[in-house]
Amino acid sequence: MKITDVKTHVLEASLSQPFAYSRAWYSTRTAMLVEIETDQGLVGWGECYGPARINTAVVQAMKAALVGQDALRTEWLWQEIYARYRDHGQKGVIIQGLSGIDIALWDLKGKFFNQPIHRLLGGPIRSDVPAYATGLYRRKGGDPVAYLAEEAAEYVAQGFKAVKLKVGFGVEEDILMTRIIRETIGPDIGLMIDANHAYDAIAAIRLGRAIEQYDIGWFEEPVPPEDIAGHLQVKAALKMPIAGGECEFTRYGFRDLLAKHMVDIVQPDTCAAGGISECKKIADMASAHGIRYAPHVWGTGIAIAAGLQLLSVLPDSTPPSLAPVEPMLEFDRTEHPIRQAILKTPIEHKEGRVAVPEGPGLGIEIDRGALERLRAS
């Protein structure tokens, strides 16, 4: 099955109201989708996490290495493209471009063999996965104490067993909001916090110590990804698990993060860290280091489907037992007009669990009408 063309789709949509995390406000959502065509009429879909317009340029530049090649040689194509750009792109947008291509090639492989990707990765360990609600961002106007509590209560009512709160808005405010959310959701729902590396070790430790009493499932990106010593300092100072890795790339980047035990839970993004081929390797490395794996997911239905296909084949976080801890899907609940619109059948949760798509490849069908409607100008 020869590759005949590689297309990219930059999509953009305005939000009904802007929202903020610790470092910026969002007023639009964008997406960069990869479409790979073959001489057998099959088409594969992938997605790149990160700046859409840079990602599209990267994938277009990589097209020459793909057209005319056998689409089923995913491992060789990954190595070939990585080697071609190694001198200039061991991390960042080059690997994000490669990730979207790799996911599209796996979608094609599944369609060619008429099997979902997880069947080709070793077969399912689970057919649905627990999902936690990512939301609880800041809005313009209103009292966060009131609207965050209301939003958290909604997630619990929808059946989610865990929610993640955005922090990094100043230690005192974070302490207050963490207490409010814990009081709202009660003791039985998981609560994680995410600073999006807005703190240094001093601030992160101060926050962490003040909220230890609220049973925090993990403290995500307390300090910048480059700050190895800071991660180790925060990890040593706090009782709660430390998570991170959405800004890390490939087995080589994660090797150092895992070997140094910088985090307790590693969070590669399938659409950024190197695609399905690479993230399976990173997951195996994490398992060997006794570090949990919980993929970062912040994209459209393609990103969610890629995360689900991988999660289906990952071992439980704890060793086999009668009450294992399963790896969790990050389920973004913020407004994203593109996320489900591009799918003919949306991927939804049921009581906080999401079924792994069973159709061939990623197990999703793309609505081309939505691509036209949402195309960025």
Q: How far is the CB of 95 from Ca ion (least distance, A)?
A: 18
Question: CB atoms < 10 A from the CB of 328, how many?
Answer: 24
- Spatial CB neighbours of 123, under 8 Å, sequence gap ≥ 6: 313
Q: Which two tokens stand for residue 143?
A: 């009292």
Q: Closer to Ca ion at the Cβ: 37 or 194?
A: 194
373/342 Cα distance (integer angstroms): 10
Q: Quick check: 174 binds Ca ion (CB under 5 A)?
A: no
Q: Which of 118, 197, 296, 336 is catalytic?
A: 296
Q: How far is the CB of 63 from Ca ion (least distance, A)?
A: 31
Nearest 5°: phi and psi at 238?
-110, 150
* SS3 assignment, position 231: helix
Q: Quick check: 269 binds Ca ion (CB under 5 A)?
A: no
262/227 Cα distance (integer angstroms): 10
Helix axes 93-113, 301-313, angle to 10 degrees: 70
- Spatial CB neighbours of 73, under 8 Å, sequence gap ≥ 6: none
* SS3 assignment, position 23: coil
* SS3 assignment, position 220: strand
Q: Closer to Ca ion at the Cβ: 42 or 311?
A: 311
From 188-196, 258-266, 317-325, 332-340, give the range in contact with Ca ion by CB under 5 A: 188-196
Q: Closer to Ca ion at the Cβ: 194 or 278?
A: 194
Residue from the set 194, 269, 278, 332 that interacts with Ca ion by CB under 5 A: 194
From 69-77, 81-89, 190-198, 224-232, give the range in contact with Ca ion by CB under 5 A: 190-198
Q: In the window 353-372, what residues touch Ca ion (CB under 5 A)? A: none
Residue 121 per-residue DSSP state: T
229/54 Cα distance (integer angstroms): 31
Closest residue to Ca ion, Cβ-based? Answer: 194
289/182 Cα distance (integer angstroms): 31
Q: Which two tokens stand for residue 1?
A: 């099955």
Annotated active-site residue 88? The verdict is no
| β-pair type (353-355, 329-332) | unpaired
Nearest 5°: phi and psi at 161?
-100, -5
First to last CA, the chain: 33
**Stretch (H or E) spanning 309:** helix 301-313
Q: Closer to Ca ion at the Cβ: 165 or 276?
A: 165
Q: How far is the CB of 282 from Ca ion (least distance, A)?
A: 17
Closest of 55, 53, 76, 54 to residue 66, by C-alpha = 76
Q: In the window 106-145, what residues touch Ca ion (CB under 5 A)? A: none
* SS3 assignment, position 35: strand
Q: How far is the CB of 172 from Ca ion (least distance, A)?
A: 22
Q: How far is the CB of 140 from Ca ion (least distance, A)?
A: 21
Residues that bind Ca ion (CB under 5 A): 194
Active site residues: 296
